[in-house]
Amino acid sequence: MLYEPSRSLRISLESVDARMSAYNEPSEEHLRPGSHAPEIHDTNVKHTTAVDSWSVGYLLRGMDKLWGDGGERTAFRKALMKEDPSQRPTAMDALQKLEELKKISFPQKRALEE
């Protein structure tokens, strides 16, 4: 993950960093609760891309001093981390919401680009 401090928030997740775990035991034996989507620890639940939405929320929570506003951005982060995976935004919905938040949070940058 790359973080570039500037007027806008930029996060770049490199897909080359992702790989299969070398662990053969169930995830609850080596993944810390609270830092992974809740369903990761339930061997009876099939993991979907909702775990990725949760992980983005987790990353944003770690940047609450920059990201958290007690309003829409905080609510969005909390939506990404909902306990029930079916209640989390899809990747496409999350991307659209991020675009909306970008326009609200950084209107001066948008004006410069036009």
| Res 40 pLDDT > 60 | yes
Q: How confident is the model at residue 3 (pLDDT cuts 50, 70, 90)?
A: very low
pLDDT of the residue at 79: 97
| Res 88 pLDDT > 70 | yes
pLDDT of the residue at 42: 80
Q: What is the average pLDDT across 78-87?
A: 96
| Res 2 pLDDT > 60 | no
Q: How far apart (Å, rounded) are the C-alpha atoms in residues 3 and 17?
A: 15
Provide φ and ψ at 12, rounded to 5°: -125, 120
pLDDT of the residue at 1: 43
| Res 44 pLDDT > 60 | yes
Q: What is the average pLDDT across 69-74?
A: 88
pLDDT of the residue at 83: 94
pLDDT of the residue at 18: 55
pLDDT of the residue at 52: 92
